[in-house]
């Protein structure tokens, strides 16, 4: 991990702290969202909107075609 701190690059892309954080699991042991009364949205339901394939993207296309 220390080797990352001494790489001769102008911008470090990976620090010792980044390396150490990879050594630990980052998954929760409990469902904290449910405990707060929050229903998680499935990943597959959200990603299309990030990729420009959602309903908002369709509406934006219509607006663009209409010159708005």
User: How many domains does one find in the chain?
Assistant: 1
How far is 6 from 41, CA to CA, in rounded Å? 41
pLDDT at 4: 56
Arithmetic mean of pLDDT over the chain? 81
Q: What is the dihedral of CA 50, 52, 58, 61, to 10 degrees?
A: 130
Quote the domain boundaries for residue 20: 2-26+40-65
In a domain, 31, yes or no: no
In a domain, 57, yes or no: yes
pLDDT at 51: 80
DSSP conformation letters of 8-49? --SS-SS-HHHHHHHTS----SS-HHHHTT-PPPPHHHHHHH
In a domain, 32, yes or no: no
pLDDT at 6: 62
In a domain, 55, yes or no: yes
Token readout for 2 is: 């220390």
How far is 35 from 45, CA to CA, in rounded Å? 22
In a domain, 34, yes or no: no
| pLDDT tens digits for range 28-47 | 888 899 999 999 999 988 88
pLDDT(1) > 60: no
pLDDT at 36: 94
Mean pLDDT of the 11-29 span: 85
């Amino acid at each position: 991990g220390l080797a990352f701190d001494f790489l001769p690059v102008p911008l470090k892309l990976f620090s010792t702290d980044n390396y150490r954080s990879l050594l630990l699991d980052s998954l929760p042991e409990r469902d904290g969202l449910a405990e707060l009364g929050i229903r998680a949205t499935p990943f597959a339901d959200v990603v299309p909107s990030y990729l420009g394939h959602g309903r908002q993207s369709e509406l934006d296309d219509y607006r663009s075609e209409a010159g708005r």
